[in-house]
Amino acid sequence: MVRFVEGPVRVSVPATSANLGPGFDSLGLALDLRDRLEAQVLPDGLDVEVQGAGADAVPLDESHLVVKAMRAGFEELGGQPTGLRLSCTNVIPHARGLGSSSAAIVGGLVLARALVVDGDALLGDDALFRVAARLEGHPDNVAPALYGGFVVSGSDDGEFYAVESPVDPQVTAVVFVPPTGVSTELARGLLPATVPHADAAADAGRTALLVAALAGRPDQLWRGTRDYLHQDYRRAAMPESLALVDRLRAEGVAAVVSGAGPTVLAFCGWPEAASADALLAHAPEGWAAHHLTVDHDGAGLA
């Protein structure tokens, strides 16, 4: 019979940026911008409190994404608690392409595991990752949210996998966050069913180069982040974002749409790259801009 710990548990989980240009649905990077969650088993009922990003929009009942993830985690761990209290302090913006839903899913699963006695032994990281990927539907954001760093992920015949890959310690990023979001469903709906073979081949080459560039050749990030498969098709949904990408890339900056957008991510940090301060000055009026390091810790107890 499953046993629950007494008192509250606290976890934090990082933002993530998927695709990074050519690595569509396969590459993801954790960034040091963290949501913080606290939960406790109660005798009965459900009490959900949200502060920060999304506080005025997310539900405060069983349909809250963190609660749904916790329920899925408890099922894997052997049983549901009699009641729950959940408090979320969110800083990852919603519907901006920075992995807010993946942070909620991974955070909820890690919370559930932490609330169960011997939860780590019952649900290890790899098993938890597979549950998270099933809930999200694809692994490119949940993988770095859980493991941290830079992760290559995908699925074979319905079986999800994730492989961590090195990141040059010099590499950081500036993210430009617009005031309004774009839903992932809308962004995906703009993609064609097929693409020219030449574009697919070019994208495969740039993806391989991007992995090498992040690992130790940041001077190749501008070339390695060139995308042929998805960004231009999404221009109608986020014209200001793609215009910013175009301007930055014209100046030699390795800039991409973050995930499904509309946030723009630009790599910096190595000596030949534009400085973070210079990049921050490119933020369009009304946009937020943040200089972020790569998060290597992933989700865990806070």
138 annotated binding-site participant = no
Among 42, 106, 35, smallest CA distance to 69 is for: 106
Residue 95 counted as an annotated binding residue: yes
State yes or no: 162 annotated in a binding site.
Answer: no
Does the annotation place 96 within a ligand binding site? yes
How many Å is the maximal CA-CA distance in the chain?
A: 61
104 is in an annotated binding site: no
**93 annotated as ligand-binding:** yes
- The shares of helix, strand and coil residues in the chain, as percent rounded to the nearest 5, are 35, 30, 35
DSSP assignment, residue 275? P
235 labelled binding-site residue: no
Tokens of 37: 């969650």
Do the strands 83-90 and 45-52 form a parallel or antiparallel pair, or are they unpaired? parallel
Distances (CA, A) of 99 to 41, 95, 174, 197, 199: 27, 8, 16, 30, 27
Q: Give CA–CA dist 234/216, Å, rounded.
A: 30
Residue 97, annotated as binding a ligand: yes
**Burial of 217 from C-beta contacts in 10 A (0-12 / 13-18 / 19+):** middle
Is 94 labeled as ligand-binding? yes
Cα–Cα dist 160/249, whole Å? 33
- To the question of whether residue 42 is assigned a binding role by annotation, the answer is no
| Beta-strand relationship, 9-19 and 23-42 | antiparallel
Residue 123, annotated ligand binder? no
Residue pointed to by tokens 């790599």: 267
Task: Specify whether the CB–CB gap between 247 and 282 falls below 8 A.
Answer: yes
Binding site listing: 93-103
Binding site feature residues for ATP: 93-103
